[in-house]
Structure 1
């Protein structure tokens, strides 16, 4: 995450007058992060309700307006009836049921458009008025590019489920969610860098603390991607015991490497997908504990220590939510809570890493 450093030339914490100068920019960035967070949650609801394939065309402009009369609704419904998901998943769905799943996908796409507008218009304004912090212009253009790419990847994902499948390809779902997570992380980093606080940690101990923080962010992103594979494969509904999975803590190798060629198991094997997700969850919790203890040892009672312990608590809570989601066989509320909390963990991890980049 070091590429998203603070806006000051030498990395020192912002002074209060400078912070006040960029307060509007900070509010804008935090608002964008909140919108991306909301979009991830709505995307989770779209997936859990099997709504993602209800809109079978990509209309970047005209798609803003939903069907406004019965004839338009029937036309959309007829388009949906042409894809395999209708016959194999919702063969008995009526127009009212179709409107329900359509609403989720339409809301998800509308949020994407709203985020685009909420990014571009203020960016043009702040840029034209010279209100952007030094070094922010290329970074914000990068965020904008991530958002544009997300739109194309979203349609690429949906297309994978329109012909020969009844759901989107899990690897495309993982890429889609990881792009959203990267965008969210970038926005949190930039927004947090505008917070004014004095550095309080010695440069001598910062490298070790930063290593832990950056490693934690990367491992969190990996776990989010693995979670998307589990979701795409519906693996959370397949093995619903804990702490054992399929009768053992570590499944037999022949079950984990069931498919050929071997690499297919990492994308298509439900058992391996869920096993990986569980093991990385344990690794994240262990890393959070180690980070907290290491910070306590080196930095003592400090803001960094409070953040490290808060992060440990968030990860422990997320593990519990994940277990509950699993044993209850992924009810909608638990699945959404699990996905939303993953983003909270990511946001906290990024904010912690960013603060350490400024020595605080």
Structure 2
């Protein structure tokens, strides 16, 4: 029993995952063949996966987003959307994820004649079939794009599908030059409908982006929030001296932060993992969650994100249980459903693994103990 196997087996909750950022390379190749898409750099699945990761690992968000041209290009039919959503659920099952909120931008999937409603129905069909076959719970978040002017239409679409599996509305895309308050009508519509908001903020732009997302747009969760560290004063040893008003507000109001460790390095939000503010956020009791962001582009899984947290931030078994429960508390599904996952899935799953670890460590002795 290895630490990696333990982390793969324990129940995990994923709140920040992009559907078009997590395709299997083989699926991209097959879908490209079906629609005669000729722009892929290679038809070898291993090489293609490496190409996406290499292209994303450039240290800035604009270049990171370029690979999405290819993934969205092969997601333009109902069949392709159903397949990608279904396979994502299978991949979640293999990674030990018990509940996932995935997101996509319907406006990016209309090139072959689909309507906005068609894209949402297709993705939900794939997710529902995946839930039936793999037992993974899900919620779907619809993304408006910062550089598009139809965010209100997407917000209305999200609310229209709230009874069929859509759980919230997001604003995604390049941050610089596209502040969230430019989409204020969409967010006010969501608020009036008593619905859920998460916003990408504080990844490629500073703490002002986070402030706008919360105070102008009413965000219930923040995607990334890496630059919130700009509102925290540290001493030379990295200990917190004082919180600014924004950081204090986020902490006090328990606003969940959707942390994505590996992609934050790839997009340049941080220069290297060990400098990621996640460690400070977690130590100071912010409500942090761990997420994958774009599994294909960042060559990651929830298990890999957890392993990264062990290596660089010394997290232990109890820490992961706490973070997983934090994530489930922060999900956009009804309260009773969240409680179901916490008390009937997550806590029993961790307790079962805790007993297995104890048994293993008793057999193996001090030198071969695994994560506790």
Higher relative contact order, chain-length normalized (CA < 8 Å, sep 6+): 1
The structure that is helix-richer by fraction is 1
The structure that is strand-richer by fraction is 2
| Rg (Cα) greater in structure | 1
